[in-house]
Amino acid sequence: MFRTNDLEQLMQKVDEAGFGTISLSPEVCLSLLARLKDLEQQGLLKSATITESNARTTTKGTDAQNNDQAKTIRNDFTYWLEKDHHPTEKNLLEGLDQLLLALKNYFRISLSHLECHFALYPKGHFYKKHIDQTAENNKRFFSFVIYLNQNWNESLGGKLVGFDGEQKIFEVLPHFGQMIVFRSDIPHEVEPSLSERRSIAGWFRV
């Protein structure tokens, strides 16, 4: 799934800038897109949730209150990938194991596993600024997103934006086959889009 030279260049980018991008093969991404659309047709995607660890505005309350609050911070739909769910998911997760090992060896961090989910953002949906690694949840070290949107253009919006304070340090359009890897302590957001936006989001953890 990943070529050695591509992985080496990606590690250097993440080391120097905190993030880096890499292109995946169209065949891999077409298979993932087909799997996601099949899950959509089966009605298996669920409304995403948030936790106190990655949304500082979250407060304790009833399940109904927390669900309503979650929708003001993020309103995408997700499905978690597992190797025993489907061959397409198994193939991706085995490929990501290769990336986990590269990150572990390059940064000398005892990464032990990864987690990821499909994500569907309907038109106009979003995920407000948040951090994947905080003092309360510090097991995520690197985050990633794989984009599954064919024929995307800038006018459709839907950028992933990373921040250092108020300064934007990256803006990534969700083009088909592009993958971004970034440090999980970088604040980031998903801007609303004018079309459905599909991706896979995940984290490498200790």
Tens of pLDDT, residue by residue over 183-206, are 999 999 999 999 999 999 999 999
- pLDDT of res. 129: 96
Residue 38, pLDDT > 60, answer: yes
Residue 55, pLDDT > 70, answer: no
Kindly report the backbone phi and psi dihedral angles of residue 131, in degrees, each rounded to the nearest multiple of 5, phi listed first: -125, 135
Beta strand ranges found along 81-139 (DSSP E): 113-121, 127-130
For residue 167, list its beta bridge partners. Answer: 164
- Overall average pLDDT of the 162-171 stretch: 97
Return d(Cα 198, Cα 156) in angstroms, integer.
Answer: 13
Q: For residue 57, what pLDDT band results from cuts at 50, 70 and 90?
A: very low
Which three-class secondary structure state does DSSP give residue 28?
Answer: helix
- pLDDT of res. 185: 97
Which three-class secondary structure state does DSSP give residue 15?
Answer: helix
Which three-class secondary structure state does DSSP give residue 176?
Answer: coil
- pLDDT of res. 49: 79
pTM (2 d.p.): 0.90
- pLDDT of res. 50: 66
- Overall average pLDDT of the 50-58 stretch: 44
Return d(Cα 120, Cα 130) in angstroms, integer.
Answer: 18
pLDDT tens by residue, 73-122: 898 999 999 999 999 999 999 999 999 999 999 999 999 999 999 999 99
- pLDDT of res. 134: 82
- pLDDT of res. 127: 95
